[in-house]
Amino acid sequence: MSDLSLDATQLDRYSRHVIMDEVGPAGQAALLDGSVLVVGAGGLGSPVIQYLAAAGVGRLGIVDDDVVERSNLQRQIVHADADVGRSKVESAAAYVRNLNPDVTVETYETRLDADSIDEIAAGYDVVCDASDNFATRYLCNDYCVLTDTPLSHGAIYRFEGQVITIDPGGDGPCYRCLFPQAPEPGTVPDCATTGVLGVLPGTVGCLQATEVIKQLTGIGEALTGRLLMYDAADMSVETVPVHRSPDCPVCGESATIDSLDEVTYEARCTIPAE
């Protein structure tokens, strides 16, 4: 899409982007040409989907196998009370279609796994990991590293959140550099047992959406090589530099993972012994 292909309605809708020197018509055209796969339509996925759609990202893929429950509505703001019992991907897609007709939505009502991710994720410019389990996080990381696809990772726990951008084309770390293996099953409680501050995923998801927009437009400095940690309880933000691990099994100097078939993406996401 060229700069001149923005029509009058688009120039009006995206005028606050167009007048920014850093974005301008070319940056907005890049967003309209861009495609993002959002993995998870829950707490993190909701603000990601909302703001990417509002920004005019031309193609959004949404992956989730769950249905809307009333307990979701305290934080998963892309869904409404009338959506209870409806599939999350259809609820989220309806929201996007009502918000911005420029956006094409593709839904995948399934649980992402090693057998389906290549077919689903192929062709998307960026993957946004808004999942709530370790198996999916490692799967997204490994797929993106192996296919040189930028990845935005976010995670939340009670009052705390973290965000990092993984750019396989650079020299920064991947998710496995930070966390080589998932914790033992049952050692890390989830939101259903410990709760989560309802606004927390909104903050963290907005940071992820920001990173995705920066990837699509090439503006600013990405959170590569830096882990941003946010604590809503004391309103603190800390950015910690992180480095690629030479021993990382997927992006290290002697990487042992060159196929998703070499990892068991369940429980602890284990790598078979040599």
Question: What is the distance between the alpha carbons of residues 18 and 23, in angstroms, rounded to a whole number?
Answer: 6
Provide CB contacts within 8 A for 91, sequence distance 6+: 41, 68, 78, 79, 80, 83
Q: What is the SS3 assignment for 159? A: coil
For residue 82, give both structure tokens: 């009338």
Short-list 54, 17, 79, CA closest to 209: 54
Give the whole-angstrom CA distance, residue 264 versus residue 138.
10
Q: Is 177 a catalytic residue?
A: no
Catalytic residue among 128, 140, 191, 248: 191
Tell me 165's DSSP state.
Answer: E
Tell me the catalytic residues: 191
